[in-house]
Amino acid sequence: MKPKKKASVGRGVGRSAAAMAERERLFIEAYIANGGDGAKAARAAGYASSGAKARAQTLLKRPNVVKSLAERRAKLARKFELTSEAVIAELSKIVHADPRRLFGDDNKMLPMQDWPDDMAAVVASVETDELFEGNGKDRKFIGYTKKVRFWDKNSAIEKAMKHLGLYEKDNRQKASALAEVLADLDGKDTGLPGRD
């Protein structure tokens, strides 16, 4: 009697429908987590590095992957309340931020736990340095220097203007003003070559 051959351990792994579905799921999670880098997501899902970009392009064309990706994004948006209203509300906080609200009547910075919620939301970072005077045994703590950095207000205003369509309106106004100037020039002898 012949001894039975042992099945190759790696043979067929990743080729079953369940394995493919799991790889697609891993790809979708990695794609969302890394901000939409398909090749990186494909590698994270276990596809070969050499063909990761092509594999990602193929996966992103599959109707079931496109549908699952959209459903996963929607689920995450609901879970973390990433609605248009919530995003615009956060943007509005930056646009309307007034740093004076971080200080008390004595002109000293309020402790962080006392910051108004809308102002705490616009702070990008806080840096605190301890200040000392003297050296060695005579070294004495004299206070702090605190630096508060806010999220970029100009960028927030620009994003708000885009959301409100103000650039489109401005561009239409410029285009109509240019059209008026060209119409005026059409009827006048400017000494410039014509547009015939």
Average pLDDT over residues 39-58: 94
pLDDT for the residue 10 = 35
Please state whether beta strands 123-133 and 140-150 pair in parallel, antiparallel, or not at all (unpaired): antiparallel
In whole angstroms, give the CA distance from residue 92 to residue 86: 10
pLDDT for the residue 16 = 86
Q: Give the model's confidence band at 181: pLDDT under 50 very low, under 70 low, under 90 confident, else very high.
A: low
Estimate to the nearest angstrom the gap between the alpha carbon of 22 and the chain centroid. 27
pLDDT for the residue 83 = 84
pTM above 0.75, yes or no: no
What single-letter amino acid sits at 146? K
Q: Which residue has the higher pLDDT, 14 or 110?
A: 110
pLDDT for the residue 48 = 93
Contacts within 8 Å (CB) and 24+ apart, 6-10: none
CA angle 41, 46, 51 (to 5 degrees): 75
Note the helical H segments in 45-133. 52-59, 63-79, 84-95, 117-120
